[in-house]
């Protein structure tokens, strides 16, 4: 493999780390049936997996759910599956608001010109709501999934369920879950996650972000050890889910710049020594409450800013997925695949209900102090009338 194999030319469209060079990790979930393709991306080295799932069709060919960056390496890994199982027939964009998923679909579709593209309804773009053809989506091959389910383009092999669109002011949130009946596997995008205690393999392909956040301050250097990688990963998870957890202290600009001048590594890669953070001693406890021994949860930002705008619609969608009696769940971020029961999936949405569903597992309520920054964001957005108010729990 060469550096050219990792090239992602369109990274300026959404300038997230690792920018123009991305590794792809393919893993077989179910022999000759389901594969995941993991890359990573993030901001300020807060990197988490982003995942594409490929399913073999019984009649021959492949379905691709939530494409990742079609680097030469990624495309070659898909071509290897095509050589054995047939060409890509379907490409699914399951979200209407996730730019980190949408930006890859048009370039991916151009690499597989015989595939039809199916998108969740009511797509939008920011700052201008442009036609999808202007964003590179193939006009003759792009189709919108029906919210009324009057037509299933994937045949008897799959079911799908659309959440939303949930109106949020500037735009909407929506997600299309896909159920592969033969394997009893559900594919979801952003609604639920499971956070592992140790960094996933895709994140460890380049450990620099893990070690960057394993430091307690900008003057410290750390060795590349499994313990330091785990420490960095757990702090990244707090960043990625809460933005500013209570255990994180953000330095004033003057103090941060002064410390940067004394940093042992002032390279461009190290942001010239800039590391404006201090972690309090209770950060580990915050992570353990978030991680909850690997339980399934709705990400804090969705709990506080999005799904509580449409609790009835969300619960209805969750109940539909439960009716599929699935055995396996593959989300687009953090840990996958997940061997979870429909009951565990349903329990993840109990924050929308007045009475939580009983379940025989420990409770891990998210700390109010960690949710406070997101609550403050919600307050500011509501004052500016940029988001609708919360609705009552059901």
**Where are the chain's structural domains?**
3-194+300-347, 201-293
pLDDT at 364: 64
> Which of 378, 221, 194, 384 shows the shortest CA–CA distance to 291?
194
Residue 177 in 3-state DSSP? strand
pLDDT at 214: 96
pLDDT at 124: 83
CB-based contacts of 226, cutoff 8 Å, min separation 6: 198
Share of the chain above pLDDT 70, in %: 97
In whole angstroms, what is the distance from residue 65 CA to residue 54 CA?
6
Identify whether the C-beta of residue 185 lies closer than 8 Å to the C-beta of residue 104: no
DSSP code, position 184 = T
> Which of 252, 243, 237 shows the shortest CA–CA distance to 297?
237
Domain 3-194+300-347 sits in CATH at 3.60.15.10
Backbone dihedral region of 308: left (phi > 0), alpha (psi from -120 to 50 degrees) or beta?
alpha
Strands 248-250 and 277-279, sheet pairing: antiparallel
Question: Phi, psi (5° rounding) for residue 331?
Answer: -85, 170
In whole angstroms, what is the distance from residue 332 CA to residue 369 CA?
27
pLDDT at 356: 61
Identify whether the C-beta of residue 345 lies closer than 8 Å to the C-beta of residue 322: yes
Residue 284 CB burial class (10 angstroms; 0-12, 13-18, ≥19): middle
Instruction: Quote the pTM value.
Output: 0.95
Q: Give tens-digit pLDDT for 261-294.
A: 999 999 999 999 999 999 999 999 999 999 999 9
Residue 220 CB burial class (10 angstroms; 0-12, 13-18, ≥19): exposed
* CB atoms closer than 10 angstroms to residue 308: 20
Identify whether the C-beta of residue 304 lies closer than 8 Å to the C-beta of residue 390: no
In whole angstroms, what is the distance from residue 155 CA to residue 114 CA?
18
> Which of 112, 118, 109 shows the shortest CA–CA distance to 138?
109
**Largest alpha-carbon pair distance within the chain?**
64
Angle at 18 between CA 13 and CA 19, to 5 degrees: 30
Matching residue, tokens 């996650």: 193
Identify whether the C-beta of residue 164 lies closer than 8 Å to the C-beta of residue 173: yes
Given a cut of 50, the residues of the chain with pLDDT beneath it are none
């Amino acid at each position: 493999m060469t550096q050219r194999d990792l090239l992602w030319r369109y990274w300026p469209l959404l300038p997230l780390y690792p920018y123009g060079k991305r590794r792809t990790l393919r893993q077989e979930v179910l022999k000759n049936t389901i594969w995941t393709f993991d890359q990573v991306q993030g901001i300020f080295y807060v990197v988490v997996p982003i995942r594409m799932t490929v399913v073999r069709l019984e009649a021959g060919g492949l379905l691709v759910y939530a494409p990742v960056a079609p680097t030469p390496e990624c495309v070659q890994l898909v071509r290897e599956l095509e050589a054995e199982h047939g060409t890509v027939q379907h490409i699914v964009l399951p979200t209407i608001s996730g730019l980190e998923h949408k930006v890859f679909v048009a370039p991916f579709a151009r690499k597989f010109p015989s595939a039809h593209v199916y998108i969740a309804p009511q797509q939008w773009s920011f700052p201008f709501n442009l036609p999808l053809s202007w964003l590179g989506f193939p006009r003759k091959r792009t189709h919108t999934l029906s919210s009324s389910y009057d037509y299933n383009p994937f045949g008897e092999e799959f079911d799908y369920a659309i959440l939303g669109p949930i109106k949020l002011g500037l735009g909407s949130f929506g997600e299309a879950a896909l159920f592969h009946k033969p394997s009893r596997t559900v594919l979801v995008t952003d609604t639920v996650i499971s956070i592992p205690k140790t960094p996933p393999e895709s994140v460890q392909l380049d450990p620099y972000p893990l070690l960057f956040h394993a430091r307690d301050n900008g003057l410290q250097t750390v060795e590349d050890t499994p313990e330091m990688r785990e420490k960095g990963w757990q702090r990244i998870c707090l960043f990625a889910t809460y933005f500013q957890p209570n255990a994180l202290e953000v330095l004033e600009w003057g103090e941060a710049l002064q410390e940067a001048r004394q940093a042992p590594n002032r390279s461009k890669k190290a942001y010239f020594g800039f590391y404006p953070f201090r972690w309090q001693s209770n950060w580990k406890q915050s992570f353990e409450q978030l991680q909850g021994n690997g339980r399934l949860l709705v990400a804090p930002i969705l709990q506080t800013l999005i799904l509580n705008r449409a609790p009835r619609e969300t619960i209805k969608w969750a109940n539909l997925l439960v009716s599929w009696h699935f055995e396996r769940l593959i989300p687009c971020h953090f840990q996958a695949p997940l061997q979870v029961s429909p009951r565990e999936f349903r329990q993840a949405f109990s924050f929308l209900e007045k009475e939580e569903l009983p379940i025989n597992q420990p409770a891990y309520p998210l700390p109010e102090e960690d949710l406070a920054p997101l609550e403050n964001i919600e307050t500011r957005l509501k004052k500016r009338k940029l988001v609708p108010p919360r609705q009552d729990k059901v």
